[in-house]
Structure 1
Amino acid sequence: MELDFVRSRFIKHFDGSTGRLFASPGRINLIGEHTDYNGGFVFPGAIDKGMLAELKPNGTDKVRAYSIDLKDYVEFGLGPDDIPRATWAKYIYGVCREMIERGVEVQGFNTAFAGDVPLGAGMSSSAALESTYAYALNELFGGSRIDPFELAKVGQATEHKYVGVKCGIMDQFASIFGKKDHLIRLDCKTLEHKYYHFRPQGYRLVLLDTTVKHELASSAYNKRRESCETVAACIRERHPEVEFLRDASMDMLLEVKDQVSAEDYMRAQYVIEEVQRVLDVCEALERDDYETVGRKMYETHDGMSRLYEVSCEELDFLNAIAQDCGVTGSRVMGGGFGGCTINLVKNELYDLFIEHAKQRYCEKYGREPKVYNVIISDGARCID
């Protein structure tokens, strides 16, 4: 993202002066999908694509915001009834309200922002936007007194209350806590986290974007969450210690198989197995065993497609191409219903894989998948 470009737009659309620049990244998730809202483990990393915003207090009680990418301007107040109509502005408004509720005396400000996180590709552009503004408002009006854990919760609460998606904490956590050349194993139940060095020798991480824009439908996402909560509640009647599905075992799930629907059982089976896969991958990375990492990625894709049913034809097709080309690991990444596969590819296979994926995908769907090479990067920060 070009700093000078964002600054030039800010100067043009406001009073000709400059403010302060803030950035937050999107993220990849190596493994651990749909486990965050089940209290499980995830394994994300921040990337070198994100959101960049310039902010400057304007001495009023209004926020004046300009989306550079959408070429759209919105002005809104900071009161509880001032929610703007534009969807993108609701994210900024929601962050403002959540910071105010935490005691930060947010005042009016001018802002312009842009991003290079591909929309709909599962790299969490919304979390990058929320984290940028949570971090910025904490710096500008909060005296940096809100701790990073709480800033991640600000973004999550914004999704819940103002956008209508009951997301977990992973996306915002990765955007705030990202660290160059490291992935983060996050325990979504306790928010305990551990960094794992990830700069694999001889391998590359590449995302292939189906360009399918099945938006992450709130109803489908929330329905799966309800399935998980239903099964966890059923298991809890026999095992009071089970707060989330993360706390359950497959033996516990089998005990209640006749008490839950077949669909709810499948959803729960996927989550319980996925929680264990994250731990298996962490152990594999500690011994530089990338073949095991890749095998677990394929297992995750199978579970997301067959049990959790959040894949789609195009994602399954790209996953099959990866297997045919000998790619070490491949799976759907993100919430599903479109977006990207994430692929762990040996350097010597990279060119062949990309060539085959583009050719075969184009032959079948009439367009090429987009290719994003990702570099693990730092989290939310001020750019002075």
Structure 2
Amino acid sequence: MKLATQIIEDIKNGQADALLTDIYVDESLLDTQKERYIAAIEKFISLYGDKEVEVFSAPGRSEVSGNHTDHQHGEVLAAAINLDIIAITAPRDGEIKVLSDDYDLKAVALDDLEKKAEEEGTSEGLIRGTLARFKELGLHIGGFEAYMTSEVLQGSGLSSSAAFEVMIGTVLSGLYNDMTVSPVLIAQIGQYTENVYFGKPCGLMDQCASSVGALIHIDFKDNDHPVVEKVDVDFSSFHHSLCIVDVHASHADLTDDYAAIPTEMKEVAHFFGKEFLREVSEEEFKAHIPELREKMSDRCVIRALHFFKEDARVEKAVSALKNNDFDTFKSVIKSSGDSSYKYLQNIYSNHDETNQAVSIALGLSEDILGNKGVCRVHGGGFAGTIQAFVEDDYVETYKTEIEKYFGEGSCHILKVRKYGGKKVEL
């Protein structure tokens, strides 16, 4: 650990240049990131004083293929991106105290780890749940004070909550477990925390992508021991950019819409005496569609059909990337987006059908892109963001055109970063 003021001097003197470029991939971002780290450390000093600190980073993620397959123990292709949360931290006795940008979170005491109903949907609930799960698993816990600042916009579909969960787990791993807690276990702890303490049903994809890093293919058939494969491809060689467009539609009040998807898929699985759709064959499912329609809603059936087709698409996408066949990859992405729109039906809420920002963004993007790229809903859906893979020589045109409708800065041109949650050795 170093004094906070010493780290500031080291950053100013260029000693962190290579490290920050390695983390954030894009050399053009170096000066911005140096300023960001210095400002964060100065804020920590103003809050807690100049003392020895550790610095941590946890990235957002972009789901590339496998829309709503993880909670049915399916497969996904996802990437850590070069937007992240950074935390300046120091040990503190008895509690965790965090200022997250402008959010002054209530201190969470280490001797009070029971779930609190009033903390559902809060960052304090995520902190308490992470501490509780660490303790249940026999891992070391301890208090800390932190200033955190995030580029992973809330409601953007880039999984700000998962990045926060991964951050808390990574800090506890770094400060009290010598960074020995595996990235997959940190992800599983995050999922438990979000399900139980935060009160939001979710799969494991968001946390795993953030915690592990890089472009990863994850098979959740055995959810306790997911198979994680890093897909070793250089995206830049395909001469396409990954764009995320924020449509500025809030995720607030959408928990019931999200929860309905795994609930309805599981209803189909339960018909066959199984817990998850991954345990049911597509052929068996199709053979019983008439009976399924008598027992449950048609939406359950059509969402199950999405799962079977989408799960198969993940392996097609991975295979295409490994074979450097980007045209096939784009075709898979387009099919995935079509399936999410028509079968999964997570483009807008049936409880608020008059607001369809994602639908508008997809329609405009298809018109702007033509044959220059493909687009799809991104992440959980209903609000937030869309994703587009755009030819490099057209990406500025796409950004300019789509921002006419959603505002300057709404289109983010991203890079895949190779690190998940990590200690930043400044």
Task: Output the TM-score relative to the length of structure 2.
Answer: 0.81
Partner residue, 2:276: 244
What's the CA shift string for 1:242-272, capped at 9, x where partnerless? Answer: 6632343432222221233211101101111
Q: Provide structure 1 residue ranges, at least 5 long, that are not aligned to the other structure.
A: 237-241
- Give the residue type in structure 1 aligned to 2:144: F
Change (3 A) 1:369 1:146: closer
Q: Tell me the CA shift for residue 369 of structure 1.
A: 7.3
Change (3 A) 1:66 1:18: farther
Distance in 2 separating the partners of 1:198 and 1:112: 34
Q: Of 335, 340, 347, which residue of structure 2 is paired with 1:304?
A: 340
Q: Tell me the CA shift for residue 172 of structure 1.
A: 0.9
Partner residue, 2:324: 288
1:351 is the counterpart of 2:396: yes
Please state whether the residue corresponding to 1:293 is helix, strand or coil: helix
8 Å CA contact 1:234, 1:256 repeated in 2: no
Q: Tell me the CA shift for residue 227 of structure 1.
A: 0.8
Please state whether the residue corresponding to 1:307 is helix, strand or coil: helix
RMSD: 2.0
Partner residue, 1:239: none
1:323 is the counterpart of 2:366: yes
Q: Tell me the CA shift for residue 352 of structure 1.
A: 2.7
Please state whether the residue corresponding to 1:230 is helix, strand or coil: helix
Partner residue, 2:206: 171
Change (3 A) 1:369 1:302: farther
Distance in 1 separating the partners of 2:55 and 2:280: 45
Partner residue, 1:135: 170
What's the CA shift string for 1:4-44, capped at 9, x where partnerless? Answer: 22211211111432321111100011111100001111101
Partner residue, 2:420: 379
User: Which stretch of the first structure deviates more once superposed, 347-356 or 92-101?
Assistant: 347-356
Please state whether the residue corresponding to 1:150 is helix, strand or coil: helix
- Give the residue type in structure 1 aligned to 2:326: Y
What's the CA shift string for 1:182-219, capped at 9, x where partnerless? Answer: x1110012311212114142211111111111337222
Q: Of 143, 148, 171, which residue of structure 1 is paired with 2:183?
A: 148
User: Which stretch of the first structure deviates more once superposed, 76-85 or 183-192?
Assistant: 76-85
8 Å CA contact 2:245, 2:411 repeated in 1: yes
Task: Output the TM-score relative to the length of structure 1.
Answer: 0.90
Q: Tell me the CA shift for residue 81 of structure 1.
A: 3.8
Partner residue, 1:65: 98
Distance in 1 separating the partners of 2:61 and 2:394: 24
Please state whether the residue corresponding to 2:344 is helix, strand or coil: coil
Please state whether the residue corresponding to 1:225 is helix, strand or coil: helix
Runs of 4+ with deviation above 3 angstroms: 81-86, 247-250
Partner residue, 1:333: 378
Q: How does 1:1-384 map to 2 (within 5 A)?
A: 2-58=36-92, 60-67=93-100, 69-78=101-110, 79-81=112-114, 83=116, 85=119, 87-179=122-214, 183-190=215-222, 191-196=226-231, 197-201=233-237, 202-215=239-252, 217-236=254-273, 244-260=276-292, 261-312=297-348, 313-324=356-367, 325-326=369-370, 327-359=372-404, 361=405, 367=407, 370-377=410-417, 378-384=419-425
The number of aligned residues is 369
Q: Tell me the CA shift for residue 351 of structure 1.
A: 2.7
Change (3 A) 1:20 1:369: closer
Q: Provide structure 2 residue ranges, at least 5 long, that are not aligned to the other structure.
A: 1-32, 349-355
Distance in 2 separating the partners of 1:256 and 1:21: 54
Distance in 2 separating the partners of 1:350 and 1:14: 43
Percent identical pairs in the alignment equals 25
Q: Tell me the CA shift for residue 293 of structure 1.
A: 1.5
